[in-house]
Structure 1
C-alpha cells in the first residue's frame, strides 16, 4: 500500500492539466501513487497519456464529486487532493512524504504552505507562514491551534488520512473546497503542520471565467453556516468558533465591498450575511475597533443603505489622502531625480569609495575587510558606508555613512569612483562609464543562484530575472574564493565582468588572528577556558518563513554535558523574527549569537561547527577545525532549492542525518577523528583554494590601486598555510 495517494481532480481548465500531471509524475516513487479524477473527454485524453490510474467522469461532474470518486479508488494511507489547474513545485511530494513518515497515528490532517501564481506572476508567497510556524513540529487539536482555520482554505495545502476521510465522507465528500478544507480541521482529532510549500495554486484570470451568479454568491453564506452547524454538533471549543465567526464576517464584508454585483444581489447578500452574523455571534462577542468595527455594526443591523453611504464617504476620504501622498511622492521623486542627474553630470571623485553589505545592514563581510585594508594601503581614498536608518546608531564611531533615499545619498552615489557591495545596489543606481563596481558576494555557492534558480519555483518566487541581469551588467569585478565559485558565478550571472580569483577578504582573519584574539572573543561570549564551544549555524530555507531550529537544542545540550557550550546563530534572513531560543538562554549551555557580529569571531571562538547547507562551512574550513553536517532534510533542500554538487558525497566532515547520529558524533571523539580530518582536507583543497590571508590586499591593489595581476602577492598553497590557533591551543 502506498503511503500517499495524489488525487488530481477536475476538468482540463485552460490546458493546465498536463502541466499539473507532469509536475506530479516527475516526483513519484514507490511511496506515492497518482490518480486522476478526469472530468470530461479532454481531461481523460490528457490523463491517459500521462499514466497513473485514471477515473473517467462525465463532463459537468462537480469538483466535490470528482474528489470523492478519486478517493474511492485510492490505495494510499494518506490522500492529497490537487486541483487540475494547480501544480506541484519540485520537492513537494518528498517534503510531504517526509512529514507524513514522522506523523503519529492520532493525527488526521497535515496542513502545509503553498505558493500562488497568477496569469502575470508565479510563486507568490502565501500569508500562512505565521500560523504554520506557531505550531512548528508539534501536533495539536484544533482547540489549541484555532488560528489554523485562518490558513488559506485549500485541499491542495493539506493531506488527509484515508481512514479519516472514509469515516467522515458524508460530511467532507459533498462540500465545496473552502468548506471541506475547514471541516477537515473541525473533524480532526489532531492536526500537524509542514512549513514547506507543497503546491503552487494557479489563480485564473477572472475575465477568463464564467460570471459569478447570484446563487453562487449566496452559497458563500450558506457554506459558513454549515460549518457553524458542524461546530455546534461537534461541541467545538469557543476559540475555534470565534475564529470561524471572524472569518465569516470578514469574508462576507469583503465580498460586499470588492466584488461587482447588481445592487439587488448585493442587498440580498448583505441581508443573508447579516442574519448569519446575528445568528452565530459567539457569547461575549465584541466587535473590533476602528472602521472595521463600524462595518461590523452596520452588518449586524442589516443597514445596507447606511453601509453603502459609509463606504462612499470612506472611499472619498481615502482618495483625497492618496492624492496628497501621490503629489508629495512626485515632488520628492522629481527633486531627487533632478539632484541625482545633476550630480551625475559633475566630475567623478577618484578618491571616493562607497561600501555596502547585506542590503545596507552595516559594516560587515567582504566589503568591511576590503575597507579596512584600503585604509592601510590607500588612505587617500575616502570610504563611505550605505546604511539603513535603523542601522545607523549601531555603526562604529567615526564611520562616514549615507542613508538610502536622502539627497546626500544620491549625490555620493553619483560621484563615487568605487562602489563595493556583497549584494547588488538598487536598480536606480546609474553605472557611470568611469566608475568601478566591485561585487564581492557573501558565500561560496552550494545552492543554485541567479539564473540557475529559474528551474526552482520555490527558490525563485518573486525574482525579476531581467532586472537581476541589468544589475549584473553593472559589475566590473566579481570576487571569488575558489575555482568552483568562479565557474558558478559566470554561469549564474553571465556578463562581461572580470573574475578576481583572489580569495574572500573576510576570511583573511582566519590566518591573522592570534591566541590573544581568540581568548578575548571567548571572554566576551562568556565561554570558560577549557570548555568545548560548538557553533551551530544553519542556513535559510526558501520554504520556511520563520526560523525554528531543526535540533532539540535543550536535549542536545543536556546530552553533551556541562563541558560543552552551544553557540546558536540563526540566519540573517530571519532577523525580524522572535528568537526561538529565549527559553534556553539562562542555562549558560546555549548562547544565542544570532545578532553577534562579526560572524568570523564566532568561528574563531568555536572548537567545531555544526551546519547544514550554509556557506559558512566553506569559510570555516580555512580554520582546519571539525565540521559536522546536520542534513536531516538534504533531499528536500536539494530538490526545492537546487544545488551545484552533492554535499552528501563530498562533505567537509562527518554527516548526521538524525539527532541521535549528531549526538553520537559529538559525545565521542568521532567529531575530530582521522576520518573527519581526511574529508576536511579534501574539502579545503577544493573550496579554500584562494583564501590564504592576503585576499583583501590583492583586491585593493588590483581594483583600487590598479596594479597588474602579475604584481599581486601570489596565493599560498593550502598545505603551506598556518591557520589561527584553536581555542585549545590559545590557552597554552
Structure 2
C-alpha cells in the first residue's frame, strides 16, 4: 500500500502532460502511485500515459471509453486508489520539488489528519510565479490537527480539490464523490471541510497552478456555467441532511453569492444572450438558500442587492458607469503625471543653475530595504568624521532615526542631485542625472566580484542586462575591498576614476560589533539560546526565468535535527522567499540588514554570492553548496574556480551538505585552513576602518587616513557557539 495516490485526470493537455507527470515521478518521496485517467482524450495524451507506465511501475493508467468530464474522471481514479492519502492534480499543473516529502512530514507531525490543506502559486505563461494571496490563512502556528470550527477562515480559500491531501479511508467512509459538470469542486470541497474531524495546514507552495495564455476551461464562454446552480444546490442539500452543519449556512450562502457574482461579471464565461437568464436563476437561488444572520460587507452590499432583485439592466448600467469613471480617472492621472514630470524637469534645470553646496552629500543603495550596504556605512562615517556635511538618504523605505530621507522622483530628490557635492551609490546613478563641475561621485560597488561583471558580460547574453559601463564616466572614486577587486573593476569598467583600495565599508561592523550586539540581534530574530544558526543565502541565476533554491531548507533542517536554526535569505531578484518560516526555518529575506544576519549566524551556506567575502571577515565557517556549477559558469562565468579555492567545505548535493554538518567537517581543521587562505587573499583591508579611510581621503585629501590593521591583530566578534574556534 503506497503512502500517496496521486490522481491526474487527463483530457487534451498533450503539451503539458509530460511536465505534470514528471513533477510527480521525480519527487524525493517515492512512496506513491500515479493514477493517470485518460478521459477519452482525442490527442496524444493516451500514448504519453502508456509511455510513462512502460518505464515506471508506479504509473497506473486508467482509460475511459467516452469523455465524462473532470469529476467522473477523478472518481474513476479514486476507484483504483490504494494509497493512505489521495492527492488530486490537474494535468496541466505541477507539483513543486519535494512536495510529497513535505506533506508526509506534516501528516506525521499532525497525527494523520483527515485533510491537509496546502498552498499553491499561479504559474503564468510569461514565466512569472505568484503565490496565493490568502497564504496567511495556512499558518502552522497553534494546535494541529483542528476542526473547521477552530479555523473557519479556511472556507474562504479557493475551493478546489488539488490543494489538499485526503485520508482515503475518511473519503470512502463518508462516500464523497465528484459530480459531473462545471464547478465540480464546490460540492466536494465544502462538505469535506465541514465533515472532517481533523484538519491540518501546510504553509508551503506545493502546486504550480498553470495560467494558460488563452485561459482554462472555466475561462471559455459556454452555457455550462449554469451548472454552478446545481452544484450549490448539492452543497445545501448536504447541509440540510446534517443538522449539525446548519451553523455553516450563512457562510456558505455568502460564498455562493460571491461566486455567482464572479461568474456573472466575467466576460469570458456566460454567452451574452444568457446573462439575463443567469441573473434570474441567481435571484431564485438567493431566495432559496438565504440564511438569517448573513453579514454582507458594505463594499459588496450593492452587488448582493442586484443579485437578490435580479436587476440585470441596472447591473450592466452600473458596470458601464464604473468603467467610464475608471477610464476618466486613468486619463486624468496620466495628464497629472505628465504635468508633474515637466515641472520636475524644469525644477532640476533651475537647480543646476545654482551653486553646488560643498556641505551636502546624498547616498543611495540598490538591493537593500531602507539604508544599508557600503553607502549606508559611508553615510554614518560622513556624520562621524565630517560633521559639517549634511547627509541625505534616497529611498522610499523607512530609515533609522537621525537620517534625513529623500523620496525618489520628488523635487527634493532633484534638488539633492543637482546641488550636493558628494553623490554616493553602489550601482548605477539616475540616468537623467547631469554631473556638474565640482560634484564628486563615489561608486562603492556591491562586494567582491566572483561572477563576471561589466565588459566581461558582452559574450554572455543571459546576464547581459547587468552591463552598465555607460555610467563609468561619471565616477570619481571606486571602492575596492582587495587587490582582486581592484584589478577586476579597472578592467571591466575602464575609466578615469581613482580606485580606493581601502576595504569594504559595509564590513566595518564585523570588527566593531560586540557580543552584546550579537545576543540582541539573535533575540530579535527569535533564535533560541545555544542554537547553531545557519545563514543560507544563494545568489540569483541569470539563466533561469524562474528561480528555485538549490536545496529545501525545511528538509535540511529536519535532517539536522534539534539545535539547528536555518535563516533563509533570498536574493533581491529572486521574486519571493526561499522557504516560508516555520519549524527550524526563519525567512529573513526582508530583513533590512544582511550584516546583522551575518553577525547572528554561526555558519554561512551559499553558492556564488559575494556574501562569502563579507562573512569571511567574521572568521566563522563557510560552506559552499551548489548543484549547478557547470550551468552557472557557462551562463555567468566566474573569475576563479571556487571549488579549487573555497573558503570552507564544499558540497554538491543535499545529502553531502547534511553529511558535512553531521560529521563536523563544516568547522573542522581543513575548513579552517581554507578559510585562512581565503581571508588572506580577500580580507586584507577590512579592519573596521574602511569607511573612515574613504571619508578622510574623499573629503580631506590624504590627511589622517588610518593605516590598516593586520589580519592577525584583528578580533572580530566571536560566534555565539564558538564555531570559528574548532
Classify the TM-score, shorter chain. Answer: 0.5 to 0.7
Instruction: Quote the Cα distance in structure 2 between the aligned partners of 1:86 and 1:526.
Output: 41
Whether the aligned pair in 1 keeps the contact of 2:116 and 2:201 (CA below 8 Å) is yes
Whether the aligned pair in 2 keeps the contact of 1:626 and 1:680 (CA below 8 Å) is yes
Cα offset, 1:720, TM superposition: 5.8
Residue of structure 1 aligned with 2:94, choices 83, 87, 94: 87
Whether the aligned pair in 2 keeps the contact of 1:538 and 1:569 (CA below 8 Å) is yes
Whether the aligned pair in 2 keeps the contact of 1:484 and 1:687 (CA below 8 Å) is no
Instruction: Quote the Cα distance in structure 2 between the aligned partners of 1:482 and 1:9.
Output: 59
Whether the aligned pair in 1 keeps the contact of 2:647 and 2:671 (CA below 8 Å) is no
Whether the aligned pair in 2 keeps the contact of 1:621 and 1:680 (CA below 8 Å) is no
Instruction: Quote the Cα distance in structure 1 between the aligned partners of 2:70 and 2:521.
Output: 62
* Residues 210 and 138 of structure 1: CA distance in aligned 2, closer, same or farther (over 3 Å): closer
The answer for the alignment partner of 2:715 in structure 1 is: 722
The answer for the alignment partner of 1:409 in structure 2 is: 413
The answer for the alignment partner of 1:152 in structure 2 is: 158
The answer for the alignment partner of 2:72 in structure 1 is: 65
Instruction: Quote the Cα distance in structure 1 between the aligned partners of 2:111 and 2:339.
Output: 62
Cα offset, 1:170, TM superposition: 4.3
* Deviates most, 307-316 or 465-474: 465-474
Instruction: Quote the Cα distance in structure 2 between the aligned partners of 1:185 and 1:483.
Output: 63
Q: Following superposition of structure 1 onto structure 2, how do residues 421-436 of structure 1 map, counting pairs within 5 Å?
A: 421=425
Residue of structure 1 aligned with 2:45, choices 22, 43, 46: 43
Q: Following superposition of structure 1 onto structure 2, how do residues 221-260 of structure 1 map, counting pairs within 5 Å?
A: 221-235=229-243, 237=245, 240-259=248-267
Q: Following superposition of structure 1 onto structure 2, how do residues 347-426 of structure 1 map, counting pairs within 5 Å?
A: 354-357=362-365, 361-373=369-381, 383-388=391-396, 391=398, 394-396=400-402, 399-413=403-417, 420-421=424-425
The answer for the alignment partner of 1:693 in structure 2 is: 686
The answer for the alignment partner of 1:190 in structure 2 is: 198
Residues 365-423 of structure 1, C-alpha deviations (whole Å, 9 max, x = no match): 432223344667888987531133x626x432xx4542122122134446778765568
Instruction: Quote the Cα distance in structure 2 between the aligned partners of 1:536 and 1:411.
Output: 45
Residue of structure 1 aligned with 2:286, choices 277, 281, 299: 277
Whether the aligned pair in 1 keeps the contact of 2:184 and 2:231 (CA below 8 Å) is no
Cα offset, 1:43, TM superposition: 0.1
Cα offset, 1:47, TM superposition: 2.4
* Deviates most, 238-247 or 4-13: 238-247
Corresponding position: 1:268 with 2:277 = yes
* Deviates most, 295-304 or 180-189: 180-189
SS in 2 for 1:283: coil
SS in 2 for 1:140: coil
Cα offset, 1:60, TM superposition: 2.6
Corresponding position: 1:26 with 2:35 = no
* Residues 239 and 169 of structure 1: CA distance in aligned 2, closer, same or farther (over 3 Å): closer
Cα offset, 1:80, TM superposition: 2.1
Whether the aligned pair in 2 keeps the contact of 1:143 and 1:239 (CA below 8 Å) is no
Instruction: Quote the Cα distance in structure 2 between the aligned partners of 1:138 and 1:628.
Output: 35
Question: TM-score, normalized by length of structure 1?
Answer: 0.67
Q: Following superposition of structure 1 onto structure 2, how do residues 648-727 of structure 1 map, counting pairs within 5 Å?
A: 686=678, 690-691=682-683, 693-694=686-687, 697=690, 721-724=714-717
Cα offset, 1:296, TM superposition: 0.9
SS in 1 for 2:682: coil
* Residues 674 and 728 of structure 1: CA distance in aligned 2, closer, same or farther (over 3 Å): closer
The answer for the alignment partner of 1:111 in structure 2 is: 117
Whether the aligned pair in 1 keeps the contact of 2:72 and 2:178 (CA below 8 Å) is no
Corresponding position: 1:139 with 2:145 = yes
Instruction: Quote the Cα distance in structure 2 between the aligned partners of 1:117 and 1:725.
Output: 44
Cα offset, 1:178, TM superposition: 2.9
Instruction: Quote the Cα distance in structure 2 between the aligned partners of 1:275 and 1:395.
Output: 60
SS in 1 for 2:51: helix
Instruction: Quote the Cα distance in structure 2 between the aligned partners of 1:482 and 1:186.
Output: 64
Whether the aligned pair in 1 keeps the contact of 2:535 and 2:568 (CA below 8 Å) is yes
* Residues 618 and 5 of structure 1: CA distance in aligned 2, closer, same or farther (over 3 Å): farther
Cα offset, 1:273, TM superposition: 1.7
Instruction: Quote the Cα distance in structure 2 between the aligned partners of 1:271 and 1:702.
Output: 75
What 5-or-longer segments of structure 2 have no aligned partner?
452-456, 539-546, 582-587, 628-641
Cα offset, 1:360, TM superposition: 6.9
Instruction: Quote the Cα distance in structure 2 between the aligned partners of 1:540 and 1:502.
Output: 26
Residues 573-596 of structure 1, C-alpha deviations (whole Å, 9 max, x = no match): 9xxx9xx99xxxxxxxxxxx9999
Q: Which has the higher contact order (CA 8 A, sep 6+)?
A: 1
SS in 1 for 2:293: coil
Whether the aligned pair in 2 keeps the contact of 1:374 and 1:381 (CA below 8 Å) is yes
* Residues 131 and 595 of structure 1: CA distance in aligned 2, closer, same or farther (over 3 Å): closer
* Residues 536 and 230 of structure 1: CA distance in aligned 2, closer, same or farther (over 3 Å): farther
* Deviates most, 713-722 or 214-223: 713-722
What 5-or-longer segments of structure 1 have no aligned partner?
447-451, 453-464, 561-565, 582-592, 636-643
The answer for the alignment partner of 1:455 in structure 2 is: none
Whether the aligned pair in 2 keeps the contact of 1:113 and 1:129 (CA below 8 Å) is yes
* Residues 468 and 136 of structure 1: CA distance in aligned 2, closer, same or farther (over 3 Å): farther
Cα offset, 1:272, TM superposition: 1.7
Whether the aligned pair in 1 keeps the contact of 2:3 and 2:85 (CA below 8 Å) is yes
Residues 66-123 of structure 1, C-alpha deviations (whole Å, 9 max, x = no match): 222333334432222221212233x243554454453444412222221213333431
State the aligned residue count.
644
Whether the aligned pair in 2 keeps the contact of 1:78 and 1:162 (CA below 8 Å) is yes
Cα offset, 1:153, TM superposition: 2.6
Residues 230-253 of structure 1, C-alpha deviations (whole Å, 9 max, x = no match): 234344656654333222211211
The answer for the alignment partner of 1:171 in structure 2 is: 177
Instruction: Quote the Cα distance in structure 2 between the aligned partners of 1:308 and 1:344.
Output: 54
RMSD: 6.1
Whether the aligned pair in 2 keeps the contact of 1:385 and 1:402 (CA below 8 Å) is yes
* Residues 601 and 249 of structure 1: CA distance in aligned 2, closer, same or farther (over 3 Å): closer
Residues 657-680 of structure 1, C-alpha deviations (whole Å, 9 max, x = no match): 99xxx9xx9xxxx99x99678756
Instruction: Quote the Cα distance in structure 2 between the aligned partners of 1:532 and 1:64.
Output: 52
* Residues 480 and 689 of structure 1: CA distance in aligned 2, closer, same or farther (over 3 Å): farther
* Residues 677 and 123 of structure 1: CA distance in aligned 2, closer, same or farther (over 3 Å): same
SS in 1 for 2:160: coil
Instruction: Quote the Cα distance in structure 1 between the aligned partners of 2:428 and 2:245.
Output: 51
Instruction: Quote the Cα distance in structure 2 between the aligned partners of 1:20 and 1:204.
Output: 14
Residues 168-206 of structure 1, C-alpha deviations (whole Å, 9 max, x = no match): 454346574532344432342222222221221112234
* Residues 384 and 62 of structure 1: CA distance in aligned 2, closer, same or farther (over 3 Å): same
* Residues 264 and 524 of structure 1: CA distance in aligned 2, closer, same or farther (over 3 Å): closer
SS in 2 for 1:722: coil
Instruction: Quote the Cα distance in structure 2 between the aligned partners of 1:483 and 1:139.
Output: 58
The answer for the alignment partner of 2:297 in structure 1 is: 288
Q: Following superposition of structure 1 onto structure 2, how do residues 542-553 of structure 1 map, counting pairs within 5 Å?
A: none
